[in-house]
Amino acid sequence: MKRLIITPALVLVAANALCIVAGGQEAGFKPLFNGNDLTGWAGRPQHWSVEDAAVTGRTTKEHPAEGNNFLIWKGGTVSDFELRLSYKIVPNNDKGFANSGIQYRSKEFDNFVVGGYQADFEAGKTYSGILYEEKMDGILAQRGQKTVVKTVEGKTRVEVVGSLGSSEDIQEKIKDKDWNDYVVVAKGNHLQHFINGVQTVDVVDEREGGKGAREGILALQLHQGDPMTVQFKNIRIKNLSGNASAKSDIDLLQGEWVPVEIVANGDKASQEVLDNIKVKINGNRYSVESNNPSQGSFKIIESTTPKKMDVTGDDGAELPAIYEIAGDTFKACYAVNGASRPTEFKSAEG
């Protein structure tokens, strides 16, 4: 969830401006899922949906997966990054089978099929946390292993060079049929996975001929086989290199924001006021949950300096604004009481 700093001056005489600054709770991280729908993602609708504010993949006897299929993030490609999310996986069968994974630096094939690096996990006790290369060279590190992956005589060779602990000890930290936290860090040819704060693999991929991917797509896997359910939430990413495909400002604004500061006429609002406000953005629509709820739409113009935003409430109110967004910080300054568009981010005593 993102944090919002609001500096309104609803009754200003001189400035007539309402200023907003927003920032993420985790510095540098951006949400990839808005908690409401699959905006920004693409997959087979019979298998993927949103339930209980979580991305949900499900196979049933009526709708089995004919081969592994994937929900693909359409926001661009990633190179060097840290990805954080929570997952829950449940077998809906008497065999206890359920398998999924997080694809990264991967390639997209036809019909929502993906190949490449996968941070694996399952309902069983063997594969959660391993590095698996979907549709390519298979397991590149078992759980608890430090490995170096090389090309030897034209073939992939995995060399175990160290240990992070026993697979059994790591498994004890993973919760069954409950939420677990997964972290994937990719920096150059160095790949690391963590579950619930415990490192599960450490891999250096030295393969030649372009086999060790340095950039590619993100996706979530739904494995073929017996009926199962997998869920993901709190999906967020931090770019570590600057090489990820740029996202537009409208994409960066998506999600839920909470205020951390409100200043009106030079006076800061109390924490009690802050705790009662949430702002949600979905597409070009916004909604404010507060004692005085409101909703409406907005449009932005990125090409000007400062950047411009025009907000139109469903009650007909129009607020010309300026804004800026950098990293996890969003700032906007709105003209109110019929004033002209602000030229600076300022809320003064009025």
Is the predicted pLDDT of residue 11 greater than 50, yes or no?
no
CA torsion 318-323-328-329 (nearest 10°) is -100
- Alpha-carbon distance values, 10 to 55, 70, 95, 349 (Å): 38, 47, 61, 11
CA nearest neighbour of 141 among 226, 200, 211: 200
Radius of gyration of the chain (CA): 23
Task: Enumerate the domain spans of the chain.
Answer: 2-27+254-335, 35-241
Is the predicted pLDDT of residue 304 greater than 60, yes or no?
yes
Average pLDDT of the residues in 283-302: 89
Reported as a pLDDT band with limits 50, 70 and 90, residue 2 is low
Place of tokens 């094939």: 109
DSSP, collapsed to helix, strand or coil, labels residue 215 as: coil
Average pLDDT of the residues in 184-207: 95
- What integer pLDDT is reported at residue 201 of this predicted model? 97
Report CA 152 to chain centroid distance, whole Å. Answer: 37
Count of residues in the chain: 350
Q: Which CATH superfamily is domain 35-241 in?
A: Exo-inulinase; domain 1 (2.60.120.560)
User: Per-residue pLDDT tens for 193-202?
Assistant: 999 999 999 9
pTM higher than 0.95 = no
Backbone angles phi, psi at 250, to 5 degrees: -65, -35
User: Per-residue pLDDT tens for 312-348?
Assistant: 999 988 889 888 775 556 677 777 777 888 887 665 5
Q: Which of residues 242 and 83 earns the better pLDDT score? A: 83
E strand spans, 240-290:
255-264, 267-268, 278-282, 285-289
Q: Are 231 and 173 in contact (CB under 8 A)?
A: no
d(CA 8, CA 328): 20
Q: Which of residues 334 and 25 earns the better pLDDT score? A: 334
User: Per-residue pLDDT tens for 28-66?
Assistant: 899 999 999 999 999 999 999 999 999 999 999 999 988
